Structure 1
């Protein structure tokens, strides 16, 4: 089978198409013939050498967290899926034995990690992590869901967002940002989003964005959000200076959920301003398998249409990463096999 493998870790030019044996499932495992696999900034960080958990000893490395396709074969003891089923993979990997796995939610697992291997014609997976797809959900749309949309949905749940709430999303045109705007809209909330690109914001208005702020300047954003209203929730995947921006605009007793630090690993926070106004700052990583099941249902009933910017054949996986690196896209980039 063909795989799109990272053969070095300096950037998109390091993606090569290699041949590997088609895997065979062991007990509890399944082999999925991959039809679509979306890429994420997590993959790009590995490819650029920015993720220190991976190094040259891991090369050649096949990334790809988010895959959908058809079950080819299953191993002993598998009961949830059978060959021929159309499925999407929940990429969460948990130990199943720590107190957090027992008590839940599963993404609190002490050994929480993520699946890799979706950028291939076939993938060997934990069969218990497969969710069957209704006929009305395409593989391309399903592959867009696990990382960006599952993360955004879990953040909205952590902030208890509901109808009529005002939700602020700094950096609304990235993968998690787009998903956050779309899902907040599905929940009946009003949304504010920022971007450095007016063109991208125009596209976002067609996806449910109610208030667009064309700026990356912290002071301008504070003022612009204040002119619109006082957010009940902030979904922050940027970190850096935008953590304090989010806290400044957040209503008394409101919640900011943070899932990333693309604008900076560290943030300075006005502690008295947070505790005196009972504001909550909550960390969140990915989501849960039930979250992904809910998202599949939302797509199946037409409530949600994942935004796909462009699709690429497997042999052009490097070009997909180049597009992500150039920040030209709005929505998901999906490799189709």
Structure 2
């Protein structure tokens, strides 16, 4: 199969488009013909070796954890899916080696759900990691309820634009930080935009004089500290970027593969309450360029690799 291989840590120059053996399919896995693979910041961070102390990494490795595609075959113990089924998945395994930047991926059934019909392949490929991170932060960590006000830092990004929509679907009011060029976009999603940077807390209080009920940090920096001055209960602060949030009484969130949560996201999409903004699509062979674009940190929505 054609795939992206990384044989050593480094910059975009170590990304190789090559032929690799087809993956083996275990008894509780399915073989997915990849149609789209979302590009996430964690992908280039893996390439640079930043997660070397977190995961066992085996070279050559295929990067990528997001997938949308068609089931080609199933393992002997699989009853959930059949060949021909269209699926999405957050195919994060216990080690980094066999990822989704490839024509084929062997995916454990625990990482998969049925593809929402409302999303095209590119949108579906961009949903799993970012969608699960947003959903699990809002629903499981922050326990957002209807009528609450939520502050989302970096609300126009890959996770952020999904968090805005999920919070709105839960019945919450959303205040989202973003640069001025993304303010109209956030209004379209149903959020009230504020500019990030110095004076953020004061700008938020102009919209919510009593502060906010909960805050979700997707950018790091001083976002958690600012949130602490706006949220009465520190347990209502979650961050995906700042480990130190736990010391303040909040929640550090790393999205987990979860079929039920993926299914909930797919249901929101099919109900018309969640969509995925795709900033750009590139062919699999241009994965290095896609990762470089992601590393710039200015993407509105998602970058997705398309696989023929």
Task: Name the TM-score, length of structure 1 as normaliser.
Answer: 0.82
Partner of residue 252, structure 2: 283
SS in 2 for 1:225: helix
| Equivalent residues of 1:240, 1:267 under 8 A apart | no
Alignment partner of 1:231 is 2:212: yes
Residue of structure 2 aligned with 1:120, choices 91, 102, 106: 102
Within a 5 Å distance, the mapping from 1:192-211 to structure 2 comes to 192-195=175-178, 197-210=179-192
Partner of residue 161, structure 2: 178
Distance in 1 separating the partners of 2:284 and 2:14: 14
Assess, with a 3 A threshold, how the Cα gap between structure 1 residues 55 and 165 changes in structure 2: closer, same or farther. Answer: closer
Assess, with a 3 A threshold, how the Cα gap between structure 1 residues 284 and 19 changes in structure 2: closer, same or farther. Answer: same
Residue of structure 2 aligned with 1:166, choices 149, 167, 170: 149
SS in 1 for 2:189: coil
Partner of residue 221, structure 1: 200
Partner of residue 318, structure 1: 288
Deviation, structure 1 residue 34: 0.2
Greater relative contact order (CA < 8 Å, ≥ 6 in sequence): 2
| Equivalent residues of 1:239, 1:267 under 8 A apart | no
Distance in 1 separating the partners of 2:101 and 2:234: 43
Structure 2: gaps of 5 or more residues:
none
Distance in 2 separating the partners of 1:30 and 1:306: 25
Q: 4+ runs of 1 displaced by more than 6 Å?
A: 54-57, 112-115
Distance in 2 separating the partners of 1:133 and 1:11: 33
SS in 2 for 1:45: helix
SS in 2 for 1:151: helix
| Equivalent residues of 1:65, 1:114 under 8 A apart | no
Assess, with a 3 A threshold, how the Cα gap between structure 1 residues 137 and 22 changes in structure 2: closer, same or farther. Answer: same
Partner of residue 67, structure 2: 67
| Equivalent residues of 2:55, 2:96 under 8 A apart | no
Assess, with a 3 A threshold, how the Cα gap between structure 1 residues 208 and 12 changes in structure 2: closer, same or farther. Answer: farther
Partner of residue 263, structure 2: 293
Assess, with a 3 A threshold, how the Cα gap between structure 1 residues 115 and 232 changes in structure 2: closer, same or farther. Answer: farther
SS in 2 for 1:70: strand
SS in 2 for 1:175: coil
Distance in 2 separating the partners of 1:257 and 1:267: 7
Deviation, structure 1 residue 205: 2.4
Assess, with a 3 A threshold, how the Cα gap between structure 1 residues 134 and 215 changes in structure 2: closer, same or farther. Answer: closer
Alignment partner of 1:151 is 2:128: no
Partner of residue 36, structure 1: 36
Deviation, structure 1 residue 54: 7.7
Partner of residue 18, structure 2: 18
Assess, with a 3 A threshold, how the Cα gap between structure 1 residues 131 and 57 changes in structure 2: closer, same or farther. Answer: closer
Distance in 2 separating the partners of 1:57 and 1:293: 29
| Equivalent residues of 1:64, 1:117 under 8 A apart | yes
| Equivalent residues of 1:71, 1:82 under 8 A apart | yes
Distance in 2 separating the partners of 1:55 and 1:162: 35
Deviation, structure 1 residue 2: 0.6
Assess, with a 3 A threshold, how the Cα gap between structure 1 residues 191 and 57 changes in structure 2: closer, same or farther. Answer: closer
Assess, with a 3 A threshold, how the Cα gap between structure 1 residues 252 and 50 changes in structure 2: closer, same or farther. Answer: closer
| Equivalent residues of 2:110, 2:259 under 8 A apart | no
Deviations, residues 78-135 of structure 1 (Å, cap 9, x unaligned): 2111111111124355xxxxxxxxxxxxxxxxxx778851000001121343322354
Deviation, structure 1 residue 247: 0.9
SS in 2 for 1:316: helix
Residue of structure 2 aligned with 1:133, choices 101, 115, 119: 115
CA RMSD of aligned residues (A): 2.6
